Amino acid sequence: MVQERTLPVFDTASAQIDKAEGLRLYEDMVLGRFFEDKCAEMYYRGKMFGFVHLYNGQEAVSTGVIKSLRQDEDYVCSTYRDHVHALSAGVPAREVMAELFGKATGCSKGRGGSMHMFSGEHNLLGGYAFVAEGIPVATGAAFQSKYRRETMGDANADQVTACFFGDGACNNGQFYECLNMAALWKLPILYVVENNKWAIGMAHERATSEPEIYKKAAAFGMAGYEVDGMDVLAVHQVAQEAVARARAGEGPTLIEALTYRFRGHSLADPDELRSKEEKEFWFPRDPIKKLGAYLTEHNLATEDELKAIEQKIQAVVDDSVEFAQNSPEPDPSELHRFVFAEDE
């Protein structure tokens, strides 16, 4: 086991959060966890096919960042581990589950499956199967916001883009090229590295000469922060500050969230490479339990209120499965539709 990095300490006293916001964050994380647990069940029952990469354990990153954005206005760009990013961005659980089932009612019309979630309505720019593939797309989205505002005079074009990718993507050329462009042009974008220590089966420390990814921001004169990716309040605070800077025209931010996936790389992964000691270090840091404890300890919620949220979300997830199962398959006559941009 490689020596674990010391997680940044977050002063909870600095958390500016009220009951409504706390419960909103808790509900979103529970939705992500319950949805992914149901995906695992459906996959092993033969309802889903291909690769399915779950997000369990990393919920604080998706919730903390995306809930700092303006839903349906700002942009979110994901990776192949994209179900929970889609849910946090506001894509209905029904549409996400139907997409996983390959049904016509899915958010990508059943054509994308697990790794290619898109939703124009919710400004979800897509999940991308190739590592680092979404980084140039997100950078382009940030550029068009700045261009429309500064060149075309559109005062309403103050959208911010959040771009998610893993530690493995930080060794790809797109990462460096896009950070350079974003810094030069002061683009309104958050580059969010979900460092879960493993790029499929490659340990992060073995693959990069500088494991502390946030420090790479300095090479571009860009703001760079590391944050405990298992603490939604810490992620949320860093993200809110980065969003405010981006919207004010102060440029991009690189955020390295130190997190951990609780399952293997995909549901086809027996997860034999990670040591028992490493898992035992990370599993007790469950971000949902951490937030739940914070809310109850600070009298922002009762155990009954948290249980009520969990029951509500379980009903939403169960409904999404029923919807997906009863939805139609894509019609074979439409095989060649949506290859190019077209009207509905």
83-135 per-position pLDDT tens digit: 999 999 999 999 999 999 999 999 999 999 999 999 999 999 999 999 999 99
**What pLDDT is attached to residue 344?**
65
**Secondary element (H or E) of residue 38:** helix 19-44
Closest CA to 253 of 211, 192, 165: 192
Q: For helices 232-247 and 19-44, what crossing angle results, to 10°?
A: 110
Number of neighbours of residue 23 by Cβ within 10 angstroms: 19
Structure confidence at residue 2 (pLDDT): 64
Which residues have a Cβ under 8 Å from the Cβ of 184 and sit 6 or more positions away? none
Question: CA–CA distance from 40 to each of 56, 67, 149, 188, 194 (Å)?
Answer: 10, 25, 43, 36, 21
Q: Does pTM top 0.85 for this prediction?
A: yes
- Here the tokens at position 26 are 């808790």
* Tokens matching residue 141: 């989205």
Give the pLDDT confidence score for residue 1 in this predicted structure: 57
Q: Which pair of structure tokens corresponds to residue 269?
A: 């992964």
Q: Are 227 and 256 in contact (CB under 8 A)?
A: yes
Contact 186, 146 (CB under 8 A): yes
Backbone φ, ψ for residue 211 (5° rounding)? -65, -25
Going residue by residue through the chain, which has 344 residues, state the pLDDT in tens, using 9 for 90 and above: 567 888 888 888 788 899 999 999 999 999 999 999 999 999 999 999 889 999 999 999 999 999 999 999 999 999 999 999 999 999 999 999 999 999 999 999 999 999 999 999 999 999 999 999 999 999 999 999 999 999 999 999 999 999 999 999 999 999 999 999 999 999 999 999 999 999 999 999 999 999 999 999 999 999 999 999 999 999 999 999 999 999 999 999 999 999 999 999 999 999 999 999 999 999 999 999 999 999 999 999 999 999 999 999 999 999 999 999 999 999 999 888 888 887 66
Cβ–Cβ under 8 Å, residues 313 and 288: no
Under 8 Å CB-to-CB from 69, ≥6 apart: which residues?
76, 160, 162, 243
Work out the number of other CB atoms within 10 angstroms of the CB of residue 164: 28
247, 160 in Cβ contact below 8 A?
Answer: yes
Q: What is the largest CA-CA distance in the chain?
A: 59
Q: Identify which of 93, 117, 36 has the alpha carbon closest to the alpha carbon of residue 324.
A: 93
In the prediction, which pLDDT does 338 show? 83
Compute, in degrees rounded to 10, the torsion defined by CA atoms 136, 137, 140, 142: -100
State the pLDDT at residue 8: 87
φ, ψ (nearest 5 deg) of residue 195 = -85, 95
Q: What would the two tokens of residue 280 be?
A: 């035992």
